[in-house]
Amino acid sequence: MMSFDVLFNQFLSGIARAALLFLVASGLSLTFGVLRVLNFSHGSLYMLGAFVTYSVWKVLLIPVVGFYIATILASLIMGLIGILIEFFLLRRLYARGWPEQLLATYAIVLIITDIVKWGWGGEFLSIPRPPPFKGAVFLFGFPFPSYNFFVILLGLILVIVLWWLVYKTRLGDIIRAAAHDREMVSALGIPIPWLFTWIFVLGSIIAGLSGAVTAPFGSIALGMDIEIIVECFAVVVIGGMGSLPGTLLGSFIVGQVYAFGIMFKPELALAFIFMVMAAVLIIRPWGIFGRPER
């Protein structure tokens, strides 16, 4: 029988993982909700964001705030790359089918992987946890990295900011209207191409930001893009593509299943996640908070 403190410890690490997943998946879900493009390259901008954060941090070598400056810069750089991807590639593919869009964004995955190999080599990199989150917090006698609380806090801030943006602003009204019927939004005089560019840029900034905050979590390495994107697909499939509350719930579920799965059988932690995803796909293919496609 597991004691309460062990379970609580797993629960907390599940929450930290959920916060990270939400950071990444919220951008993916937002982009999908409005543009209806399943953006495979979202994970690549996350990975590139982590590498850029590392380099900026290394170049700056400013104590205390260096990491945070690097995080902001990396996020903005990913936003710029987002403009390029949307403007020169995706924009030309909206009228095509899913297979072409998926192939195109997968091409970006491969391109960014090679850029990272070329620019940073294949080695594992890491950034020390930034102050004031260097230490650990003891809860029920277990050390819990205080940096995890920073990530949870950031996740919560992003929940609030996105909620405000989507439900409380005129841009949010346009986003929710366009997610349902972009043709009508366009016929009302709202410039859809610009809306799509800005949404994609916002998604890219979120990808960069989440990559940056992952950097001090573990190692920065090739392959982290695919690893995160498949988990994010599980998150948005479970919660419902394009739904903000769905992404939040999906992140929570995947984070917890992973945390307790690891305790139960570490080799199968990912398998448990995809079993849940498969179950959702069978019972409610549009996800818990999603809406059936018309």
Partner 1 sequence: MLEIKEIHTYYGTSHILFGISLKVDKGEAVCLLGRNGAGKTTTFRSIIGLTPPRSGSIKFLGQEIAGKPPYVIAQMGIGFVPDDRRIFPDLTVRQNILVARREREGAIWNLDRIYHLFPKLKELEAHMGNQLSGGEQQMLTVARTLMTNPQLILLDEPGEGLAPLVVKAMGEQLTEIKKTGITMLICEHNVGLSMALSDRCYVMDKGTIRFQGTIDDLKKNEEVRKKYLMV
- 165 near partner 1 (CB under 8 A): no
Half-sphere exposure of 222 (CA within 13 A, CB side): 15
Residue 138, SS3 per DSSP: strand
- 180 near partner 1 (CB under 8 A): yes
Minimum distance between the CB of residue 170 and partner 1, rounded to whole angstroms? 7
- 5 near partner 1 (CB under 8 A): no
Task: List CB contacts of 108: < 8 A, sequence separation 6 or more.
Answer: 40, 41, 44, 85, 89
Find the binder of partner 1 among 36, 83, 186, 222 (CB under 8 A).
186
Give how far the C-alpha of residue 78 lies from the chain's centroid of Cα atoms, to the nearest Å: 13
Name the residue nearer to partner 1 (CB basis): 11 or 164: 164
Radius of gyration of the chain (CA): 19
- 284 near partner 1 (CB under 8 A): no
Minimum distance between the CB of residue 173 and partner 1, rounded to whole angstroms? 4
Residue 159 identity (one-letter amino acid): V
Find the binder of partner 1 among 89, 125, 137, 190 (CB under 8 A).
190
DSSP string, 10-79: HHHHHHHHHHHHHHHHHHHHHHHHHH----TTHHHHHHHHHHHHHHHHHHH--TTTHHHHHHHHHHHHHH
Sole window of 23-31, 58-66, 191-199, 211-219 interacting with partner 1 (rule: CB under 8 A): 191-199
Name the residue nearer to partner 1 (CB basis): 55 or 186: 186
Sole window of 64-72, 76-84, 169-177, 205-213 interacting with partner 1 (rule: CB under 8 A): 169-177
Minimum distance between the CB of residue 127 and partner 1, rounded to whole angstroms? 40
- 187 near partner 1 (CB under 8 A): yes
Name the residue nearer to partner 1 (CB basis): 61 or 170: 170
Half-sphere exposure of 180 (CA within 13 A, CB side): 8
- The kind and range of the H/E element at 142 are strand 142-145
> Which residues of this chain interact with partner 1, rule CB under 8 A?
170, 173-174, 176-177, 179-181, 183-193
